[in-house]
Structure 1
Amino acid sequence: MVLNFKKLQIIPTYLNLKYPKTSFKFINNGEQSKIKKESISLARQLQAKIKSTGPISVAEYMKEVLTNPVSGYYMHRNVIGGNGDFITSPELGQLFGEMVAIWCFNEWQKIGSPIPLQLVEMGPGHGSLAEDVLRVFDRFGVRNEVSLHLVEVSPYLSQMQAQTLCEKTIRPSEPTQLYYQLGTTAKNIPVFWYNSIQDVPRQFSCFLAHEFFDALPIHKFQRTEAGWREILIDIDPAADTVKFRYVISRMSTPASKVLIKADEKRDHVEVCAEGGVILQHLATRLEEDGGFALFADYGHDGSKTDTFRGFRDHQLHDALVDPGSADLTADVDFSYFKTCTEDKLLTFGPVTQREFLKRMGIDIRLQILLKNCDEKQRENLLLGYHMMVDQDKMGERFKLFSLFPSVLKEHLIRFPVTGFADS
């Protein structure tokens, strides 16, 4: 592979104008009743488990609430958008997805455009981000070198993604296949779905994740006079109905012995062990197969403590009430990501979403789009733009973080990673 050390600064002035789809449906009374019944059923399952085995970790509770095959929050309903419980930047219009696409294309070009290129997205939501990225790559004339690989555990969301991205999809009957669904876009780009990142083929890849790591299970720990203890979830004995509460483990747990750093200064810590496993897997892949990664999420650089919370109807919700009826999330500790990958990867960030998007040229792209739209489209564009970049909205709350193989260190000193340093 011959490295192309030309530093690219590409502003896509000629991309098709596109506006977010408005296919969200209102939840009717019947659906609300079904969600309530599922929540009661899940609460009873958790109650039975705790009565049988004792208090469970926050990680176990979170995993069961979000991905239980029957009653899990993500598994059987549309949770994203105006009529869901939260909204993401890719759903606010094309601007976010285009800036991510330009970043991917720039970094790919700067290291010689190795082919084939796998675009891999973990937790792709409705497929809006992937749709925007593929459209930009198509406009640059490289769609024949690209394939799309989606890591998605929700049957419901995988169907929505297929509707967004593909003209046709099939579910193979061959049990040896690692992917559970495949399709093709209108431009004949192949799309594959997997249950796990470990199932994605080992090739040069660009890994993307938007609001993926914040939904992975976390362990919570509290410093006590007796040392570190894990915070667990138990049944509230004083409640008349099924209700849960936090308790502190009496003794050290395996997690509290393994996951706490020896030099930890905070008194309360959240650790996403599952995220660490995924990061270590990606580190091996990037080192051995080549590629890079870009993550966008709520997060911090090792300074925050108690961030575990629920969201329902775009409002904060008690994470222990009506399990399965609300999203559960915790801010990503990017310092933990750095620790997990420092022996194999270079890390950049976190930087705020506002910084990243402005460095990528979102203001220039916005002005181009505003010249070619009617009043309603103009209103939607500006609303989405301000939601994404304003400091009191998503602009400061979300962070961007990128990963590259250590072998590129000298190259990235000469040509800094786009979006993570001032031009």
Structure 2
Amino acid sequence: MSDATPSLPELIDMQIRANGPISIASYMALCLTHPHQGYYKQADPLGPRGDFMTAPEISQMFGELIGFFCVNLWQQMAEPKSFTLLELGPGRGTLMQDALRVATRAEGFGDALHLQLFETNEELKAQQAIRLSQYNPYWPTEIDAVSGDPLLVVANEFFDALPIRQFVKGATGWHERIVGLKDGARSFGLSPTPVPNSAMPEAVHNAAPGEVYEVSLAAADVMQRLAKAIGRLGGAILAIDYGYAPTRTGETLQAVRRHAYADPLEAPGEADLSAHVDFGALATVASDASLTTQPLATQGDFLKRLGIVERARTLSAANPGETGNISAALARLTDAEQMGDLFKVFCAASPGLIPPGLSS
């Protein structure tokens, strides 16, 4: 970036001065996906040197069990000779590398596989290409640019990064929270124009003044496009993220930088912005496309039902020197006070498919 090119914070401030305050969704989109300075357009954000850790980076067990999950559904679909496996936001390719190492042991799975990776970060694409080269991956530019084959979708920590809008309950209706400038600094405010209660989901009609309702139109659009494809082609979408169901009020927008919470307005483009996923809203969209949704499960329960405890024992027996690390990873992924309860598992599938790990 040359000296003459404004920084992303400067660009955002210039836009606000020129056109007035912007929605939180517009602010998040600029911070995360600006073509040149957005957070997800820059360096690798993962790992100890980055800003956060994801489950696949904690242990190979996570991806291995996702691989088993995919094989199970492929077998339930009568082992189609050609199918698409699409991962949304694949990171370094670690999850899919671990998943396919397991899944391709099933006869016919690897030959039938068409791997697609939806990614916008060029550095991460390069890492994915190295890790997954043997599977001949393809990077679509549109999220639903899939072939006419059955479709399995995996989305780990993807939906939480999609932009949200926030509305605050007032005396005469709801007011959208916006980002403006106060004394030259970015600050949150409220639109003076009220939104009637009738325009909000019934689940929040009885909200008290001051309560916050978050909605992600981007997440609903992604789910609608993929659900329509799955409804037409057959298959399932598995999404793992922090979130909740049913739809409710609550303020969850957060910024993370160097493994610590930060002010969402302080350093646009330099911090990860995210919000909890309204899985109840996504379930409604999937159901409208005639998919069957499973009850929301915790990550801990899901992984335990798929056999992570047994897998940890096997790994420890084969690598006795790593027993402590394996036990620590197991606890981090499944314990209620760590990732086990915070992260939820959502699945919408073609009628008749029974996703493993999502029923007791």
TM-score normalised by the chain length of structure 2: 0.93
* 1:240-297 Cα deviation digits (max 9, x unpaired): xxx21111101147xx899731452443111010110111111211111111111100
Q: How many pairs align?
A: 352
Shift of 1:304: 4.8
Quote the residue 1:96 is aligned against: 62
1:155 lines up with 2:122 in the alignment: yes
Distance in 1, Cα, partners of 2:283 & 2:190: 28
Distance in 2, Cα, partners of 1:386 & 1:111: 33
Quote the residue 1:396 is aligned against: 341
Quote the residue 1:14 is aligned against: none
Quote the residue 1:49 is aligned against: 15
* 1:179-229 Cα deviation digits (max 9, x unpaired): xxxxxx1xxx22101232132334211100000000000011111112111
The SS at the match of 1:316 is: strand
1:261 lines up with 2:201 in the alignment: yes
The SS at the match of 2:53 is: coil
Distance in 2, Cα, partners of 1:104 & 1:259: 39
1:383 lines up with 2:325 in the alignment: no
Shift of 1:40: 7.8
Asked if the contact 1:259–1:271 (Cα under 8 Å) also holds between the matched residues in 2, the reply is no
1:341 lines up with 2:279 in the alignment: no
Distance in 1, Cα, partners of 2:347 & 2:286: 12
1:274 lines up with 2:240 in the alignment: no
Shift of 1:165: 1.6
Moved more, 102-111 or 83-92: 102-111
Aligned with residue 219 of structure 1, among 165, 189, 192: 165
Asked if the contact 2:81–2:111 (Cα under 8 Å) also holds between the matched residues in 1, the reply is no
Map 1:130-141 → 2, pairs under 5 A: 130-141=96-107
Distance in 2, Cα, partners of 1:263 & 1:379: 45
Q: Percent identity?
A: 33
Distance in 1, Cα, partners of 2:251 & 2:9: 23
Asked if the contact 2:213–2:248 (Cα under 8 Å) also holds between the matched residues in 1, the reply is no
Quote the residue 2:193 is aligned against: 251
Asked if the contact 1:115–1:204 (Cα under 8 Å) also holds between the matched residues in 2, the reply is no
Distance in 2, Cα, partners of 1:258 & 1:190: 50
Distance in 2, Cα, partners of 1:41 & 1:121: 32
1:290 lines up with 2:234 in the alignment: yes
Asked if the contact 2:214–2:250 (Cα under 8 Å) also holds between the matched residues in 1, the reply is yes
Distance in 1, Cα, partners of 2:199 & 2:122: 32
Asked if the contact 2:67–2:103 (Cα under 8 Å) also holds between the matched residues in 1, the reply is yes
Distance in 2, Cα, partners of 1:122 & 1:259: 31
Aligned pair in 2 of structure 1 residues 157, 313: CA closer, same or farther (>3 Å)?
Answer: same
Map 1:278-357 → 2, pairs under 5 A: 278-301=222-245, 302-343=247-288, 344-357=290-303
* 1:125-173 Cα deviation digits (max 9, x unpaired): 110111112111222232111121001111221112112222xxxxxxx
Distance in 2, Cα, partners of 1:71 & 1:210: 24
Q: Which runs of 5+ in 1 are unaligned?
A: 1-33, 167-184
Distance in 2, Cα, partners of 1:389 & 1:110: 27
Quote the residue 2:24 is aligned against: 58
